[in-house]
Structure 1
Amino acid sequence: MNLDLGNVLKFDNEREYFEVLGFLSKDEEYIRVYTENNDKAGAWAPQGRMQLRNVDVSSLPKALMKAFSTSTDGRISETKYVRNLQEKHCFSKEVDPTGSNFTKWLYKESLEKVLETVPREYESDFYRGYHWNCEVVKRLRSISSYDINLTEESNQEVKSHTEGRKTVYYTTKYERSAKNREDAIRIHGTKCMICGFDFEKQYGELGKGYIEVHHIRPLSEVDEEIVVNPETDLICVCSNCHRMLHRFRNYIISVEELRQIVKVNNKKV
């Protein structure tokens, strides 16, 4: 595999290469791939380009993030790589947006066709890119940067601080039905529906019957009292997955999103 395909788009290894391929295969079209027939404008050859659309550079897969960080207008010139997408990965569907035959947007023929070009050992890397959630990654990287800043300050003098002072908070408490919780456990069982963790298997009698229940639609998003169906509106999850679903203050990670994250990272082990 020739990984030196682009002007600024570079890959450290095959995993990065297929991760980017998966990301470019997403239906959201966060990055538009296109060609310009510059020969019609007096240049000697067609030009392949990529344009960033409706997403922040900091939320992209690493190789793309590095490449677009060099751009001043949200575009990068990647003729060799774009040609590679056309010839090796079935990005053969062309759309002429102006009818001038100058600019042609490129799209995958189908997800199935692209997958046929991905070696089995790199399928998990492809799917990591395909299921990439820019909003989650942006938040995680923001938190990581904050943690790094704390680490850099760790060499400063360490001071002791008191804990335990009582503070009164006024907040909204959402009433939850114990019966709904019981029904959800009866229907779904006590094994985590995201990662498969079993408290009884891990902790024996101590963990028997224990599981946490998560509202698929957070109660904080509901303006009035609603009827909850334990079978479709609630899922049973372990404590770790429950924390990850609520990882961010103003953004609830979806169940399917977290399942995919767990699936992809389990394949790395």
Structure 2
Amino acid sequence: MYKKSFGINGQIQFANEHEYYKLIGFLAKSDGSTSLVWEHNEEQGAWGSEGRIQIYRAILPNNVGRLSLSAGVGNIINRLNCNEFVQDIVRNHGFVMGVQQDKENVLETIPDEFKKDFEEGYNA
């Protein structure tokens, strides 16, 4: 569900709901641009699990919010670490871990007034 800011350190911030739903559309693409992962870092002695969005393309669509990206590894260009946002899109928008998302399942969760924003992100 829309909030202006996600994450303890504000890793994801939106100016408005249009940006939020455009990012949701972009993440629902299932074309290899992104993947959703839950890394169990505590198994390697780190602080704890992290919800991450892995990004495999260099250019992101405009107006999808302010994202605090960190460098990726290998073919991952950037990562977006934000447990709160990953939990939000899984719980409220039908996302699943991995590369493949069910567009129609996600689209059902989008209010009618923001479906155009979703489609803009999806087609970016």
- Residue 60 of structure 2 is aligned to residue 25 of structure 1: no
Q: Deviations over 1:134-159 (max 9, x none)?
A: xxxxxxxxxxxxxxxxxxxxxxxxxx
**Aligned mate of 2:41, from 18, 23, 38:** 38
**Shift in CA distance, 35/61, structure 1 to aligned 2, threshold 3 Å:** farther
Residue matched to 1:5: 6
Higher relative contact order (CA 8 A, sep 6+): 2
Residue matched to 1:167: none
Residue matched to 1:81: 85
SS of 1:62's partner is coil
- Note the residue ranges of structure 1 that are not aligned, 5 or more in a row: 95-104, 133-269
Q: Structure 1 residue 128: deviation in Å?
A: 0.8
**Shift in CA distance, 11/19, structure 1 to aligned 2, threshold 3 Å:** same
Residue matched to 2:67: 67
Q: Structure 1 residue 23: deviation in Å?
A: 0.5
Residue matched to 2:112: 120
TM-score, reference length from structure 1: 0.39
Q: Distance in 2 between matches of 1:107 and 1:61?
A: 22
Q: Distance in 1 between matches of 2:43 and 2:99?
A: 19
Answer whether contact 1:19 1:125 (CA < 8 A) is retained. yes
Residue matched to 1:16: 19
Residue matched to 2:75: none
SS of 2:12's partner is coil
**Shift in CA distance, 106/46, structure 1 to aligned 2, threshold 3 Å:** farther
- Note the residue ranges of structure 2 that are not aligned, 5 or more in a row: 73-77
Answer whether contact 2:32 2:99 (CA < 8 A) is retained. no
Answer whether contact 1:48 1:77 (CA < 8 A) is retained. yes
Question: What is the aligned length?
Answer: 116
Amino acid at match of 1:85: I
Answer whether contact 1:10 1:63 (CA < 8 A) is retained. no
Amino acid at match of 1:117: T
Q: Structure 1 residue 107: deviation in Å?
A: 4.0
Percent of aligned positions with the same letter in both sequences?
Answer: 29
Amino acid at match of 1:87: R
Root-mean-square deviation (Å): 2.1
Q: Structure 1 residue 71: deviation in Å?
A: 2.7
Q: Distance in 1 between matches of 2:100 and 2:45?
A: 26
SS of 2:54's partner is strand
After TM superposition, list the pairs within 5 Å mapping 1:102-117 onto structure 2.
Answer: 105=98, 107-108=100-101, 110-117=102-109
Amino acid at match of 1:14: E
Q: Structure 1 residue 62: deviation in Å?
A: 2.9
Q: Distance in 2 between matches of 1:122 and 1:36?
A: 31
Q: Structure 1 residue 44: deviation in Å?
A: 5.1
Q: Distance in 2 between matches of 1:72 and 1:23?
A: 19
Residue matched to 1:130: 122
Amino acid at match of 1:72: A
